[in-house]
Amino acid sequence: MALRTVRTWLWVAVVALAAIAGTGAVLLRQQPPAAGDGFGVAQFDLVDQNGKPVDETVFVGHPSALFFGFTHCPEVCPTTMAEMSAWFDALGDEGADLRAWFVTVDPARDTPEVLGDYVSWVSDRITGITGDAAQIDRLADAWGVFYEKVPLEGDDYTMDHTASVFLLDRQGQFQGTIAYREDMETALGKLRNLLAKS
C-alpha cells in the first residue's frame, strides 16, 4: 500500500516535470526566433526588377541574404549594399551558390525599373523585389521587419526600417542575421557557416 502511494507520487512528479520542461521549451521558442521554426514564412505575390512574378518559392534552392530597404535611403541601404557587394567579392567562388534579395519597403517609388539599376550595382546575384504594398507588408511582417513612413519638409518622406540582413538556408529557412555595420570578418564567418550548412 505504502509502495503504491510512493509510486503514484513519483508519477505525479514525472508529469509535473514534463509539464515544466514543455512550458520551458515553448517559452524558449517564443524568445528570439530559433533556426527553422517557421520564422519568415509567408505567402506573397510580388515582382522582381524585371517585372517577373515572385512568391515564397523563390527563397528555396540557394542559401541567401535578405534585406528590406528603399532606394531613397541615404545611408543604411547604400552602406549595406556596398558591404554586400564586398561579401560577394571576398567569398569569390566559395560563395557562388549565395543569392541576395532586396525587398523595398517603399514600393510607391521603387518600381521594378528603379530597383533594377540599383541592385545590379551590387551583384548579378541580387534580386530586387517590389509590388503591391499589402503583399510587401505580409512579407515584412513574417520577418518581424518594422517600417514606417516619416514625412519631411516639402512633400517628401523617408522611411524608418529594420536594418538587419537575414540569412536563409537552401530551404528558405531562417538561420541568423547580420547586424547593420557588423564587422566584415564576422559577417563573412556567418556567410561561410551558412554556405557550409546549406
Partner 1 sequence: MLRLLRAALAAAILVVTPAFAHNGVVHLGPINISLPFTRATLPNAPVAGGFLTIENTGTEPDRLVSATSDIAGDTQIHEMAMQGDVMKMRQLADGLEIPAGETVTLAPGGFHIMFMGLKQALVEGETITVTLTFEKAGTVDVVLPIEAAAADAPTAEHAH
Binding site for partner 1 (CB under 8 A): 71-76, 78-79, 81-83, 86, 114-115, 117-118, 120-121, 146, 150, 152-154, 156, 158, 160-164, 177, 179-181
Looking at beta carbons only, is 81 or 100 nearer to partner 1?
Answer: 81
CB of 160 to partner 1, least distance (A): 4
Q: Which is nearer to partner 1, 62 or 88 (CB)?
A: 88
Q: Which is nearer to partner 1, 62 or 65 (CB)?
A: 65
User: 93 vs 154, which CB is nearer to partner 1?
Assistant: 154
Residue 155 grid coordinates: 512633400
Q: How far is the CB of 140 from partner 1 (least distance, A)?
A: 12
Alpha-carbon span 27 to 19, nearest angstrom: 12
For residue 64, count other CB atoms closer than 10 A to its CB: 24
Per residue in 150-177, is it b (16+ CB within 10 Å) or e — as a string? eeeeeeeeebebbbbbbbbbbebbbbbb
Question: What is the smallest separation between the CB atom of 79 and partner 1, expressed in angstroms?
Answer: 5
Q: Which residue has the cell 551558412?
A: 194
Q: How far is the CB of 172 from partner 1 (least distance, A)?
A: 21
CA distances in angstroms from 118 to 5, 7, 68, 123, listed in the order given: 73, 70, 14, 10
Report angle CA 74, 98, 191 to the nearest 5 degrees: 75
Q: Least distance (Å) from partner 1 to the CB of residue 21?
A: 31
Between helices 76-91 and 184-197, what is the axis angle to 10°? 60
Nearer to partner 1 by C-beta: 93 or 124?
124
**Residue pair 133/47 in contact by the 8 Å Cβ criterion:** no
